[in-house]
Amino acid sequence: NLLNGLKLVVAETIGYIIEATLVSKLPPKAQDPTPKRRHNKLLISRETGELNEELKASTMERTNSENVHMSNLTASASIAPK
């Protein structure tokens, strides 16, 4: 269940990143060349970068805790008398 929730979060985040990327891939004419727009784009990319780092960290933590849980299960299963 945790994993499904995580997949949703990842999918949503990737969706946002793709949207941000699409905006930056527009031809120069379609983009507003004002410094303000450029500044906003920098902010967006910095935010998505931080979001990625946070996501990686939380994913790693969850994966690690799940792995520990699994290894505990297998350990107790192998110790159990047959």
* 14-55 pLDDT per residue, tens: 666 555 555 555 555 555 555 555 555 555 555 566 666 666
Structure token digits, residue 29: 């004419």
What's the confidence (pLDDT) of residue 82? 52
Query: Is 12:52 a contact under the CB 8 Å cutoff?
Result: no
Q: How many domains does the chain have?
A: 1
Query: Is 51:13 a contact under the CB 8 Å cutoff?
Result: yes
What's the confidence (pLDDT) of residue 54? 66
Q: Which residue has the higher pLDDT, 22 or 58?
A: 58
> Residue 81 in 3-state DSSP?
coil
Please say if the pLDDT value at position 61 is more than 60.
yes
Domain with 11, as residue range(s), is 2-79
The model's pLDDT over 66-82, given as tens digits with 9 standing for 90+, comes to: 555 555 555 555 555 55
What's the confidence (pLDDT) of residue 46? 57
